[in-house]
């Protein structure tokens, strides 16, 4: 049995803005606190339009921060740069930093791997976004906007990107993405929060129970670039169509787990959906605390990364070191390397079109 964290019809959350820290160049990072009484509270930063903390009650009403974060500015600009951040202009990987757009190949900036990851070396996670308060009838939050000029990290076309965080009193955090361009380009935005429903810095997620509404996934090569075709999850460690502990199948001997370094770092192809609005992509549950998050999205895929490469070198805001499996990311998205894969859903955006995407994280607590 799972109950909402706050009665329906509760008052919309309050919104508070306050200075958080100062960048080396003197610019101020603001923190926006979205409150919902004793239920869910979210803290988001203008640096990277990022979810820095999210407090949720367990089955006994005890609240804890359930997302990993950086302890300070140095970490947010370094090892924790992706934690909770809005990722763009293109989430995940583009092979060899080569971007074909309508017959022209653009050279993108790459990381040390030779591929472009999460928008390039200076992606949207490293930018200071503009922010304004948003209030609706039963939700409140903050809208972040960012201008990315033509040639930014090698991407063609000027782009205006936006992401709105909206929290309601029932425990749902909605992320609404939008973008418009002045020349043909690609857009693929996501959020890179790592969840640990036992509490940030509190052990691993190996005992969390995960279900993913996908019958296929995209296998990768040794550099985590998809081959192209989708493979069935049936009879593999990637079959999460029924709820299973995260660690249950990671001990299996499977070449895809080996290539990813001993965990999941793959895109699941969500089942076809005929309805309107976001549909369930994944459900994550911590049996010990009773906390549960349902991830709903309008996106066709979800990249799941189990944080198995964390090595303890990064310390979170709670003072604990993040070791292997300290958190799990559920990154709703279009598929990796889509510009090179005509059979994948297109990420091309042209002038006059508008990119729209919605993801909802719906929190609840199992009452036993």
Q: Identify the CA nearest to 291 among candidates 365, 361, 367.
A: 365
> How many angstroms separate the CA atoms of 130 and 331, rounded?
23
Classified as helix, coil or strand, 194 is strand
Two tokens at 44?
Answer: 């988001």
Torsion angle of C-alpha atoms 357, 149, 47, 345, degrees rounded to 10? 30
Helical spans, DSSP H, in the chain: 73-76, 255-259
User: How many other CB atoms are found less than 10 A from the CB of residue 325?
Assistant: 23
Summary count for the chain: helices (H), strands (E) = 2, 31
Exposed / middle / buried, residue 318 (Cβ in 10 Å: 0-12, 13-18, 19+): middle
Two tokens at 40?
Answer: 């869910």
User: How many other CB atoms are found less than 10 A from the CB of residue 242?
Assistant: 8
Q: Which residues are the active-site residues?
A: 192, 331
User: Can you name the residues that pair with 244 across neighbouring β-strands?
Assistant: 210
């Amino acid at each position: 049995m799972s109950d909402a964290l706050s009665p329906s019809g509760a008052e919309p959350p309050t919104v508070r803005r306050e200075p958080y820290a100062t960048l080396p160049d003197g610019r101020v990072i603001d923190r926006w606190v979205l409150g919902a009484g004793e239920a869910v509270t979210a803290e988001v930063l203008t640096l990277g339009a990022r979810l820095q903390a999210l407090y949720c009650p367990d089955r006994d009403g005890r609240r804890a921060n359930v997302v990993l974060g950086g302890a300070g500015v140095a970490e947010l600009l370094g090892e924790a740069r992706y934690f909770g951040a809005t990722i763009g202009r293109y989430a995940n990987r583009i092979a060899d930093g080569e971007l074909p757009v309508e017959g022209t190949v653009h050279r993108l900036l790459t990381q040390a791997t030779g591929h472009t990851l999460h928008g390039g070396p200076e992606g949207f996670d490293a930018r200071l976004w503009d922010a304004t308060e948003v209030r609706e009838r039963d939700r409140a939050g903050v809208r972040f906007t960012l201008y990315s000029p033509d040639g930014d990290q090698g991407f063609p076309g000027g782009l205006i990107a936006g992401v709105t965080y909206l929290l309601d009193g029932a425990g749902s955090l909605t992320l609404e993405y939008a973008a418009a361009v002045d020349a043909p380009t690609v857009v693929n935005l996501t959020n890179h929060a790592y969840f640990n429903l036992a509490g940030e810095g509190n052990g691993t997620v190996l005992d969390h129970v995960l279900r993913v509404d996908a019958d296929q996934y995209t296998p990768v090569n040794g550099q985590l670039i998809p081959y192209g075709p989708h493979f069935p999850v049936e009879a593999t460690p990637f079959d999460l169509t029924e709820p299973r502990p995260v660690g249950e199948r990671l001990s299996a001997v499977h070449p895809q787990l080996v290539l990813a370094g001993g965990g999941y770092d793959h895109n699941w192809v969500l089942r076809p959906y005929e309805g309107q609005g976001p549909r369930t992509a994944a459900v994550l549950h911590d049996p010990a605390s009773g906390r549960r998050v349902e991830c709903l999205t309008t996106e066709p895929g979800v990249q799941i990364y189990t944080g198995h490469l964390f090595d303890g070198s990064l310390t979170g805001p709670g003072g604990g070191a993040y070791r292997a499996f300290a958190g799990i990311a559920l990154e709703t998205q279009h598929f990796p390397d889509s510009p090179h894969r005509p059979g994948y859903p297109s990420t091309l955006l042209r002038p006059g079109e508008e990119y729209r995407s919605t993801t909802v994280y719906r929190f609840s607590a199992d009452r036993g």
